[in-house]
Amino acid sequence: MVKCDKCGVETYMPFKCNYCGGYFCEQHRLPELHDCKGKYDQTRPSTVQVGEYSSSGGFYGNYSTSRIIRPFWFSRKELRDLAIGLLVIVTLPFIKVWSYFYIQPLFVIGIVTILALAFILHELAHKFAAQRLGMWAEFRLSTTGLLATFLSFILMQTSVLPLMIVAPGAVMIAGLLNWNDYGKISIAGPATNIAQALIYLFAHALVLPESVLGVLSIYGIEINAFLALFNLIPFGVFDGMKIYKWDKRVWAAAAITAGLLVLFAMMI
């Protein structure tokens, strides 16, 4: 691991500043966030170096990739991490509702599918938004995120939390971004969940509220709206911090929309 030159936090995937040459964590990777002393002019490098860091801090580049990243491209490691993350998201809710499978199989399959889509589409939205801007972007599992997911599932069983926190990992991005790029990539995930919640809201208006599809639509609204609202927290490594610093109006619009959708689902 390498220590961040700004805060001293050790990280497995540090980011090297192209201007001052320092190594920084995810939170301080941008020149604006680590008081960069180099010549910072908002330009981007023509290539992005992708590789691994040794325990002594040395960098072993695997390859340099053009800033024009192939869209919709996945590495084997990323596909493995996505599959594990998706397996965790699918298995945990199934454990809770498996006893209903023989009574209401459509309900069980629906709940699992809603959670899986909420997670996978959120992460893919971040990835594709970054790739569109010419950045290297891949999903990686997170030990902390996996523990938070498992802990929230346990707390949900005791009614301490209303919903499970879905955070087994995150999309890692390499390349120099300005605040405009950072904001667009960050808003992509919560916006995708809000869009899903609105789709479920529209579906709810078309079916009987007491039917299986009616109940599933409410869960779809609640799960996606809660996930969007959770990620919009303007603190730490959450998407909300980056969005808030980029454009407070965009952050407020997204947070209010997600909050209203959560309230609507809880009141029905």
Give me the chain's average pLDDT, please: 80
Using 50, 70 and 90 to split pLDDT, how confident is the model at 61?
very low
- Shared domain for 51 and 80, answered yes or no, is no
Task: Give the pLDDT of residue 136.
Answer: 80
Question: Could you tell me what percent of the chain has a pLDDT over 90?
Answer: 35
Burial degree of 46 (CB within 10 A; 0-12, 13-18, 19+): exposed
The pLDDT score that the predictor gives to residue 53 is 35
Number of H helices, E strands in the chain: 7, 8
pLDDT computed for residue 248 by the predictor = 95
Q: How far apart are the first and last CA of the chain?
A: 48
User: What is the per-residue pLDDT for 66?
Assistant: 40
Q: Where are the beta strands (DSSP E) in 103-163?
A: 136-141
Q: Across-strand partners of 3?
A: 10
Query: Is 129 a domain residue?
Result: yes
Last residue of a domain, one of 24, 48, 66: 66
Question: Is 81 domain-assigned?
Answer: yes
Q: Determine phi and psi for 75, rounding to 5 degrees.
A: -85, 165
Q: Is residue 71 part of a domain?
A: no
Question: Lowest mean pLDDT: which of 44-53, 96-105, 141-150, 246-255?
Answer: 44-53
Domain boundary among 48, 66, 84: 66
Residues 173-196: tens digit of each pLDDT: 876 667 788 899 999 999 999 999
Taking the CA atoms of 55, 64, 13 and 4 in sequence, report the sign of the dihedral they define: positive
Is 26 a residue of the active site?
no
Contact between 24 and 3 (Cβ < 8 Å): no
pLDDT of 250 above 80: yes
Q: What angle do CA 149, 220, 206 make, to 5 degrees?
A: 175
Q: Are residues 187 and 261 located together in one domain of the fold?
A: yes
Per-residue confidence at 251, pLDDT binned at 50, 70, 90? very high
Q: What is the mean pLDDT of residues 91-106?
A: 75
176 and 131 in a common domain: yes
Specify if 121 maps to a domain. Answer: yes
- The share of the chain scoring above pLDDT 70, in percent, equals 79
Long-range contacts of 24-28, Cβ-Cβ distance < 8 Å, separation of 24 or more: 26/172, 26/237, 27/236, 27/237, 28/4
Whole domain around residue 38: which residue ranges?
2-66
Residue 86 and residue 60 share a domain: no
pLDDT greater than 50 at residue 42? no
Residues 135 and 167 in one domain: yes
Whole-number pLDDT of residue 162: 63
- Annotated active-site residue in 26, 123, 138, 222: 123
Q: What local confidence, expressed as pLDDT, does residue 173 receive?
A: 81
pLDDT tens per residue, range 207-231: 988 898 999 999 999 999 999 999 9
Give the Cα separation of 30 and 18 in Å (integer).
Answer: 10
CB 181 within 8 A of CB 133: yes
Q: What is the pLDDT of residue 192?
A: 98
Q: Same structural domain for residues 41 and 128?
A: no
Domains in the chain, number: 2
